[in-house]
């Protein structure tokens, strides 16, 4: 039997363990609340924005099959490419604003926003020729003539959306960095419902066809950008927006350098999907292959929009804590976000396995396309699972300002491994669209493993020092 002293020590040990467990649970709960306060609005933003593109694709799918394939090419090649660059460049605004907000240097947030407008507008203008000359570009790439001509018409309609995204994305990052998430959530929700309503009116009631779909898209994005501008300029950001400042024209080169590396980081990943769609266009039944692949890619990317909410949360939480000088809190935040995202990924993985065969009928009435989509349901489910890890780790890199390293990882994962494997399986092994998708998964697996290793090796004390240097430099 234990003596009274031993019993007391045992009780103390149990009490201390309970206290530690309660303390850990409390920390997880508090961090989860902070995470969801950022992640949920970011998810709504991403899902509704991408949902607007998906609604447009669904509308095209009920016009003609050529228009559907043409829209898929424009969205996957041009729009993803330009949005990838602009989103990556806008993420630098989130990093810089997040660190400044964490360090309570509120005055500089508005200057960072204005600098991003200058730099990103110049980059968007440089991309306009790709939209103007989409038809000859697609001809050079070997796409079918009728699809290339239709895509050239659709691409011109996307030029206003390109410029609206310059201002919309940067203002969104500006607001998220200072935790003004409610207004962002409402504006993006309005965007989606305005677009869905106008698409229904213009396409199905007024029978405007292609112009109706694109006018609805432009109006919806315009409403969202106008709402953000009114909120920022109208006095709801009194601490962080002091009006237009000449200082925005200074230190543009460091911003351009950081923005370019960040844009390349996301663009490499986004352009990878475009290359795969192009490969689908070289197959025997190009229209069916492109339509089926783009439908699966849209489903995967729509779920990825949820994961990008966690990317935003990781970026803001890491940059805020590094700005405060608290590396340990940044590390703990990463762990909570990663496990939460993985749990949600498992849920969607199960959902996709259960209903993968019915997905295609949301986008098309073609039995050929539906059959091709059905054959990809299992690879699609595993891609969705991988989606829930990579973006969080990329968000950590953005929060730490390490976009250049991730760009190298993405390049090697997708272009050295993913595309060659996809081509080999699609053409040599005669797996066609399924082979391309499996190749894409190989690239995703490689990227995930590499980013996990990079995140594990982060020296958080050193990252605090780097953040301090960035704050003093900008």
Closest residue by Cα to residue 240 from 104, 135, 134: 104
In this structure, the number of other CB atoms found within 10 A of the CB of residue 23 comes to: 10
Q: What is the mean pLDDT of the chain?
A: 81
Model confidence at 11, pLDDT cuts 50, 70, 90, reads low
Residues present in the chain in total: 474
pLDDT of 173 > 70? The answer is: yes
Q: What pLDDT is recorded for position 12?
A: 46
Question: Who has greater pLDDT, 76 or 417?
Answer: 417
| Strand extents, DSSP E, 363-471 | none
The pLDDT of residue 131 is: 94
Give the start-to-end residue ranges of the domains of the chain: 37-473
Per-residue pLDDT tens for 295-333?
777 777 777 777 878 887 888 888 888 888 888 888 888
- Provide the percentage of residues in the chain whose pLDDT is more than 70: 86
How many other CB atoms sit within 10 Å of the CB of residue 22? 10
- Among 278, 53, 272, 289, CA closest to 148: 278
| Residue 428 to residue 186: CA distance in whole angstroms | 49
Average pLDDT score over residue span 141-147: 80
196: helix, coil or strand?
helix
Q: Which of 311-325, 327-341, 394-408 has the highest mean pLDDT?
A: 327-341
Query: What value does the mean pLDDT take over residues 46-65?
Result: 74
Cα–Cα dist 165/311, whole Å: 19
pTM: 0.74
Task: Kindly state the tokens that stand for 79.
Answer: 């729009």
Burial class, 87, CB count within 10 angstroms (exposed 0-12 / middle 13-18 / buried 19+): buried
First vs last Cα of the chain: how many Å apart?
68
Please tell me which residue, 117 or 372, carries the higher pLDDT value: 117
- Is residue 407 packed enough to be buried (19+ CB in 10 Å), middle (13-18) or exposed (0-12)? buried
Classify burial at 11, counting beta carbons within 10 Å of its beta carbon; exposed 0-12, middle 13-18, buried 19 or more: exposed
Q: What is the 3-state secondary structure (H, E, C) of 55-74?
A: HHHHHHHCCCHHHHHHHHHH
Residue 168, SS3? helix
Dihedrals phi, psi of 364, to nearest 5 degrees: -155, 155
Closest CA to 393 of 321, 264, 465, 307: 307
């Amino acid at each position: 039997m234990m003596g009274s002293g031993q019993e007391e020590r045992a009780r103390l040990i149990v009490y201390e363990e309970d206290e530690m467990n309660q303390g850990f649970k409390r920390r997880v709960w508090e961090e989860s609340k902070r995470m969801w306060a950022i992640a949920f609005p970011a998810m709504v933003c991403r899902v509704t924005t991408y949902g607007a593109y998906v609604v447009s694709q669904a509308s095209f799918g009920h016009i003609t099959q050529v228009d559907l394939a043409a829209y898929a090419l424009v969205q996957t090649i041009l729009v993803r490419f330009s949005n990838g660059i602009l989103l990556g460049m806008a993420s630098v605004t989130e990093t810089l604003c997040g660190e400044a907000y964490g360090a309570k240097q509120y005055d500089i947030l508005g200057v960072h926003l204005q600098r991003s407008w200058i730099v990103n507008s110049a980059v968007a203008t440089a991309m306009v020729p790709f939209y103007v000359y989409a038809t000859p570009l697609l001809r050079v790439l070997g796409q079918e003539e009728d699809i290339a001509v239709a895509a050239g018409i659709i691409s011109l309609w996307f030029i206003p959306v390109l410029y609206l995204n310059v201002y919309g994305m940067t203002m969104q990052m500006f607001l998220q960095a200072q935790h003004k998430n409610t207004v962002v959530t409402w504006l993006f929700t309005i965007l989606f419902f305005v677009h869905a309503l106008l698409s229904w009116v213009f396409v199905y009631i007024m029978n405007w066809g292609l112009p109706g779909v694109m006018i609805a898209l432009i109006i919806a994005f315009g409403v969202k950008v106008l709402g953000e501008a009114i909120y920022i300029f109208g006095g709801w950001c009194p601490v962080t927006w002091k009006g237009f400042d000449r200082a925005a024209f200074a230190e543009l080169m460091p911003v351009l350098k950081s923005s370019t590396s960040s844009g390349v980081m996301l663009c490499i990943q986004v352009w990878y999907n475009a290359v795969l769609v192009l490969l689908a266009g070289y197959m025997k039944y190009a229209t069916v292959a492109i339509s089926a692949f783009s439908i699966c890619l849209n489903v995967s990317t729509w779920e990825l929009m949820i994961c990008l909410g966690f990317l935003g949360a990781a970026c803001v939480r890491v940059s805020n804590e590094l700005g405060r000088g608290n590396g340990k809190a940044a590390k703990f935040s990463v762990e909570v976000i990663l496990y939460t995202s993985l749990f949600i990924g498992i849920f969607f993985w199960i959902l996709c396995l259960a209903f993968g065969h019915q997905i295609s009928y949301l986008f098309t009435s073609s039995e050929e396309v539906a059959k091709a989509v059905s054959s990809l349901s299992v690879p699609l489910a595993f891609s969705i699972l991988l989606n829930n890890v990579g973006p969080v780790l990329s968000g950590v890199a953005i929060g730490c300002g390490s976009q250049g390293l991730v760009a190298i990882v993405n390049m090697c994962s997708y272009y050295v491994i993913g595309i060659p494997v996809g081509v080999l399986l699609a053409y040599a092994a005669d797996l066609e669209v399924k082979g391309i998708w499996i190749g894409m998964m190989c690239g995703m697996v490689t990227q995930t493993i590499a980013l996990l290793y990079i995140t594990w090796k982060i020296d958080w004390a050193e990252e605090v020092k780097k953040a301090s240097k960035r704050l003093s430099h900008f």
